Structure 1
Amino acid sequence: MNALSKTLRDALDRDDAIALLRGAISHESITGNEANVVGYLDQQMRKRGIENLDTIDFLPGRPNISGTRKGAGNGRRLLFIGHTDTVHVDGWREHWAGDPREDPFGAPIIADEIWGRGAGDLKAGICTSLAALTLLDRAGIRLKGDVDFAFVGDEESGQPGSGVSAGVKAHTARIASGDLPRPDFVVYTEPTRLAVYPAQIGFFIADITITGKSAYFGVPELGHDALKASHAVMSALWAHSDTISARAEHALVGKGSLLITTLNGGGFIAVPERCTLSLIRKLLPGESLDSAAAELECVIRGAITDPKITMEITYPAGRDHALGGTATEIDSDHPALAMLGSAVASAMPGRGGVEGAPFWSETPFFVNGLNIPAVYCAPGDIRNCHTFEERVSVEEYLAGVVAFADFMTRFCGVEGN
């Protein structure tokens, strides 16, 4: 632990930081209900000296909130951003009935872990960035550069008519137009167990409808079997996935792949007329989403040999691209990576390493859309998010507060130095 990290650790108000996170978890914000937690964040941001607060609806009744902690001047601008919405809690109460964890928004502390929906994904990250400001104030440190904060909705998918990154689209559009200042570096507070993720996968989802012609089972020659065609298509897709995986491997995010996730179809004592498949394609940084989709369609068409069988493909999960979400990667030599990793390692030895994101989230809107370098870093473990086990370690969370405060000083500079 370096001298600054020790100073910050000694100045940390543990009770305040923990209460901040538990309060955020207690404000249910399942996608579509972001306003419920935004009101809480507004109060907390004002309390922690964040100015120029803006609460603007990206869709009716669904607000983003942003603001700035002004520095003394002559420093670089840093942005911390995270999504306010969480996935649903269906089945949570039944799973934990009679247990202290029964209320998904109760935020109990059990065995030095804070439990609840959104604990890791990603209210711990949001609260880590806000508590870091209070820590700097308690330590008597004033930054040179400005620190921006933006908390946006609609990142999570799963709720009907939502989950298309409408919140971050609205926020980055304001940066692109000049309505908001352009940051020099972005930390998106997805849970990484305090690793630093400068690269992430891309993806698209494809829904495939295969249509033939039904016929009575006794005269199958009069029909055109959609289920049989689907079998041929799936075999071709699995072979295509093997080809994709063998093609390349990225040092941080591994190999590309294709996963068939659903199959529905069949006939009632008849030749099946219609089948539907769904799949998800994992892309590596540098892979073109358009090219990958075109290649997929070629594979599917090549597998259907009956000219009477028709095929339709739709792509329902557009994010920063009409078909899906693009992969991203920033320069591994970017100095902010070393700054952030070192700050984390000082606060919690063994953490702060450079890894790749095994998920898709919203840094492409900055990296690919605005040419602004961005990484993921925050407390929490993505492996227990979206589950009944969602929780975050108190030790990791508090180390994150110290690390973020330390990183702010390194990146933005300190008045008087």
Structure 2
Amino acid sequence: MDTSPLSLAQSLLRCPSVTPEEGGALAFIEGVLKEAGFEVHRPVFSAPGTPDVENLYARYGSGEPYLLFAGHTDVVPPGDAGRWRHDPFSGEIDGGELHGRGAVDMKGGIACMMAAALDFIRECPDFGGSIGFLITGDEEGPAINGTVKLLEWAKVRGERFDHCILGEPTNPNQLGDMIKIGRRGSLTGRLVVEGKQGHVAYPHLADNPIPGMLRLLDGLLREPLDRGTEHFDGSNLEVTTVDVGNPATNVIPAEARATFNIRFNDLWTPESLEQEIERRLREAAGNTVRYRLAMEPTNAVAFLTPPNAFVGFISDAIEAETGRRPALSTTGGTSDARFIVKDCPVVEFGLVGQTMHQVDERVPVADLDRLAGIYRKVLDAYFAESSTKS
């Protein structure tokens, strides 16, 4: 079997695994890894109101340390396939680039992980540690029946990981630009200001909630939540909707509603941030503005993998392969790393993300080879370091 990163990526792209469909992608990975000597499991998880999701867990070796590769085979819908230069599930090569939905996010990254691991095992079958794959089909969907439950399943089996590489596309422009060593948390709040409906010509008989809403939003936004930390930008609160649902121009509305989202750094927990939001609202409302606040539950908390030897292995491998020393970043949205970090330190590094989720998503074939080379260098350094300590 051809286990080059290009061949593996083409096979994965030809699987129409749009969330929550498995599409043959996990079955393909299972077959390749089993042939290489991995023990492979395919647990399916369910929850009321959500689709069943197939997942994959594979392990080679039984020793320590244990390096885990993580990712997802599910992809977002391609949209109108007629707008694509090539069929989104054809895995066509055009102009030195591999085209297809998931080429960047993140079947290409999984292919590179597999190619590197298989190459390492062929050359070093008795390396003494363990290499694993934790692959979900639920990252682009609700993220309920995927990584969270797969980690719980593995923990019940007694699996313990030392470090993890998540292959999300982390580079903004060129391969080697950026490693993600953490992520901000995400917290959403819904605010309602209560008023009294009435005629605009008789404001004394009504109570307009809009001025009150403006006061509350000003109270939330006037001062920054913080100034940032060594590895994080300042937390930011963005108002995403303000609405009174009023089609009439001569009616004072009964209530005003607003929604806001906060991307917060490691100075906050969801609990401490909620307390700060409530404090600011109480202060802005005084005794005159009647309001209700509902904070939505969140599983997206801020986390950081401090720069250490593991981050150094990855940075050194990237520099050796690309000539660029990557920036250590915590920018961007959330990822499944927020779940994995509860079990072991996790670092994210994958392909260039410029075309992810777009029409004609694509990746240079040369980048696939380079990324596989980076992962291989990480494996060499990681297990060489462990052998010198044993």
Stretch deviating more after TM superposition (198-207 or 221-230): 221-230
In the TM superposition, 1:7-406 aligns within 5 A as 16-34=4-22, 36-47=24-35, 49-59=36-46, 61-70=52-61, 75-90=64-79, 92-93=80-81, 96=83, 99-101=84-86, 103-136=87-120, 139=123, 142-156=126-140, 163-177=142-156, 179-193=157-171, 194=176, 195-240=178-223, 243-244=224-225, 247-267=226-246, 268=248, 269-304=250-285, 307=288, 309-315=290-296, 318-319=298-299, 325-332=300-307, 334-367=308-341, 369-370=342-343, 372-381=344-353, 383-388=354-359, 390-406=361-377
Q: Look up the SS of the partner of 1:149 in the other structure.
A: strand
1:296/1:385 Cα in 2 relative to 1: closer, same or farther (>3 Å)?
farther
Displacement of 1:414: 9.8
Percent identity at matched positions?
Answer: 20
Conservation of the 8 A alpha-carbon contact between 2:39 and 2:58 = yes
State the 4+ residue runs in structure 1 displaced beyond 6 angstroms: 414-417
Conservation of the 8 A alpha-carbon contact between 1:121 and 1:385 = yes
Conservation of the 8 A alpha-carbon contact between 1:86 and 1:121 = yes
Q: Look up the SS of the partner of 1:227 in the other structure.
A: helix
Conservation of the 8 A alpha-carbon contact between 1:144 and 1:413 = no
Conservation of the 8 A alpha-carbon contact between 1:227 and 1:266 = no
Displacement of 1:78: 0.6
Displacement of 1:106: 3.3
Displacement of 1:216: 2.6
1:204/1:300 Cα in 2 relative to 1: closer, same or farther (>3 Å)?
same
Conservation of the 8 A alpha-carbon contact between 1:207 and 1:314 = yes
Residue identity opposite 1:78 in structure 2:
L
Q: Look up the SS of the partner of 1:114 in the other structure.
A: strand
Question: Any idea what the Cα deviations from partners look like across 1:129-155, whole Å, max 9, x if unmatched?
Answer: 111133335656653211011102332
Q: Look up the SS of the partner of 2:160 in the other structure.
A: coil
Question: Any idea what the Cα deviations from partners look like across 1:351-375, whole Å, max 9, x if unmatched?
Answer: 54433342221223233x23x2111
Tell me, in whole angstroms, the C-alpha distance in 2 between the residues paired with 1:309 and 1:412: 61
Conservation of the 8 A alpha-carbon contact between 2:239 and 2:259 = yes
Tell me, in whole angstroms, the C-alpha distance in 2 between the residues paired with 1:227 and 1:363: 40
Q: Look up the SS of the partner of 2:378 in the other structure.
A: helix
Q: Look up the SS of the partner of 2:266 in the other structure.
A: coil
Tell me, in whole angstroms, the C-alpha distance in 2 between the residues paired with 1:301 and 1:26: 55
Conservation of the 8 A alpha-carbon contact between 1:93 and 1:104 = yes
1:35/1:302 Cα in 2 relative to 1: closer, same or farther (>3 Å)?
farther
Conservation of the 8 A alpha-carbon contact between 1:207 and 1:278 = yes
Conservation of the 8 A alpha-carbon contact between 1:135 and 1:402 = no
Tell me, in whole angstroms, the C-alpha distance in 2 between the residues paired with 1:112 and 1:207: 48
Displacement of 1:415: 12
Q: Look up the SS of the partner of 1:311 in the other structure.
A: strand
1:351/1:180 Cα in 2 relative to 1: closer, same or farther (>3 Å)?
farther
Conservation of the 8 A alpha-carbon contact between 2:45 and 2:145 = yes
Provide TM-score, normalisation by structure 2. 0.85
Residue identity opposite 1:262 in structure 2:
T
Conservation of the 8 A alpha-carbon contact between 2:316 and 2:325 = no
Residue identity opposite 2:43 in structure 1:
I
Tell me, in whole angstroms, the C-alpha distance in 2 between the residues paired with 1:411 and 1:83: 23
1:306/1:57 Cα in 2 relative to 1: closer, same or farther (>3 Å)?
same
1:265/1:26 Cα in 2 relative to 1: closer, same or farther (>3 Å)?
farther
Residue identity opposite 1:293 in structure 2:
E
Residue identity opposite 1:209 in structure 2:
V
Displacement of 1:210: 3.1
Tell me, in whole angstroms, the C-alpha distance in 1 between the residues paired with 2:376 and 2:126: 11
Tell me, in whole angstroms, the C-alpha distance in 2 between the residues paired with 1:223 and 1:415: 73
Residue identity opposite 1:16 in structure 2:
S
Displacement of 1:36: 4.5
Residue identity opposite 1:363 in structure 2:
A
Tell me, in whole angstroms, the C-alpha distance in 2 between the residues paired with 1:253 and 1:308: 35
Residue identity opposite 2:366 in structure 1:
E
Can you give the 5+ residue segments of structure 1 that lack an aligned partner in the other structure?
1-12, 158-162, 320-324
Tell me, in whole angstroms, the C-alpha distance in 1 between the residues paired with 2:329 and 2:91: 29
Q: Look up the SS of the partner of 1:209 in the other structure.
A: strand
Question: Any idea what the Cα deviations from partners look like across 1:314-372, whole Å, max 9, x if unmatched?
Answer: 315x22xxxxx11111231x2111112212222222154433342221223233x23x2
Can you give the 5+ residue segments of structure 2 that lack an aligned partner in the other structure?
none
Tell me, in whole angstroms, the C-alpha distance in 2 between the residues paired with 1:232 and 1:364: 34
Conservation of the 8 A alpha-carbon contact between 1:217 and 1:271 = yes
